[in-house]
Amino acid sequence: MFTAKHTHEKCMLLGFVLLSAVTSLPGCYGITTANKAIPANRLDRYFFTEPKDDLCPVSFTSLGQEKPEAHIVGPGDSLSVYVYGVIPATTDETPVLQRFQSLNQQYYPPHGSIVAPTAGIPMTVDPYGDLELPLVGRLPVAGLTIPETIEAIKKAYLAKDVVQQDRVRVSVALIIPRVERIVVLREDTPATNVALLPPGQVDHIHRGSAQVIDLPAYENDVLHALAATGGLPGTDAGNEIWVFRRDSLPSQLPITAEQLGQLAEGYNGEDHHSIVRIPLKGHPCSNLPFAPSDVILDEGDVVYVPRRHNEYFYTGGLLSGARVPLPRDEDIDVIEAIALATGSTGGPLGQSGMALAGGTPGHMVRPTRVIILRELPSGDQIQIRVDLARAMQDEKQRIFIKDGDVVMLHFKPHQAVFNGVLNFVNFNVVSNTKGN
């Protein structure tokens, strides 16, 4: 039979084993490394990080172009031209154009129709900006408004004595405006059903899209190109849009997203006219980094919406190991990062000690020491020490998290010792109770 002395010795032995196990927990590793870490309150909160909260979105109207009061005739415009007694030769041949066209466009014109009929012979302005008129020949009309085009045709026929001054009647109307055919390549995921993901789990499925669209004159800009292909870029896309002019693209090889990405990476700002970068966010007081002409698209241009470069921070120590995505447009500090990693609705200290310990002996005193391992631009790594208890009151302790940071939660020395002793006492009490 076991005596009380044997029972006490057994409890003492098991207690020391338990205390050794507690002190060997991952949180106790931070006791030996914390002295080498730099206190967070000695560093700037944006230590080697780029602030995001200070950025504001650019005005989306700057992605479009201002439409003139009157249409300016240009190559590709389809016009109806009527000159009494000449075009057409007799009134019996005068067609009435209803201007109902089945254009392959989703948004323009509405239901594929253009309102208001017109009379005359349909003509197209050639690539040189001229109209081929009977008995007159080529007449330059590019850059003229519709009323100015009418006056130019009148003068041309009067100069050739084809019509008399008192009998000249000319009518010109726009049938279909010229269009610019462009390609829009998007790597952002189209809108799907909203799903909540647990911490550390990231949706790695990304779908792209490609569309060839025709944009009418004065709507051939980045804003209308985005509107016709799914809307403005979402949080799955990068905070930038690229425009590749036709002359900057390889003529022999097919264009892929990888090739466009390589062109974007090699962009240094010098080839400004061939490759245009349009950032979607900037500082409020800074000027737009692109000109109004940069958003206008011409035939053969490619609009490229790249996928977002995902940013993560990693968790360890008393926190479950995970890779947690960082918000694209927000700065998060160390307290918010721990709340994201633990999923705790009560904040970083809202979980029980048993939950943080992963099922090992309970922690009556919760851990409040955080070690952040951060890589510097030189490739070196530094350790940053944060006191969560002080961070609740002192903003200087709440350093912002950077892409690639490793956030580890540990005990302070007195917290580890207190929890170990308390667990040892609890174990003795339970053992004595069972022994009795």
| Closest alpha carbon to 47 in 365, 334, 368 | 334
- Domain coordinates in residue numbering, the chain: 4-51+331-435, 56-66+180-305, 78-176
Tens digit of pLDDT for each residue in 281-312? Answer: 877 767 777 888 899 999 989 999 988 887 88
- Please tell me the distance from the alpha carbon of residue 295 to that of residue 201, in angstroms, as a whole number: 37
Burial 107-145 (b: 16+ CB within 10 A, else e): ebbeeeebeeebebbebebeeebebebeebeebebbebe
Burial class (CB in 10 A: 0-12, 13-18, 19+), 387: middle
78-176 topology per CATH: wza like fold (3.30.1950)
Outline where DSSP puts E strands in 299-365: 302-305, 312-317, 322-325
Label residue 42 left, alpha or beta by phi (over 0 means left) and psi (-120 to 50 means alpha): alpha
Extract the tokens encoding 242: 């690229």
What is the C-alpha separation between 313 and 409, in angstroms, rounded?
13
Task: List 282's β-bridge partners, or say none.
Answer: 56
Convert the pLDDT of each residue in 223-256 to its tens digit: 999 988 888 888 788 888 999 888 766 665 456 6
Residue 146: the pLDDT is 93
- Looking at residue 147, what DSSP letter applies? H
pLDDT < 50: residue spans in the chain: 1-2, 22, 25-30, 100-105, 107-113, 115, 253, 345-361
Distance CA 321, CA 311 (A): 16
Rounded Cα–Cα distance for residues 140 and 134 (Å): 14
In terms of DSSP H, where are the helices of 214-333? Answer: 222-227, 257-265
pLDDT score recorded for residue 275? 85
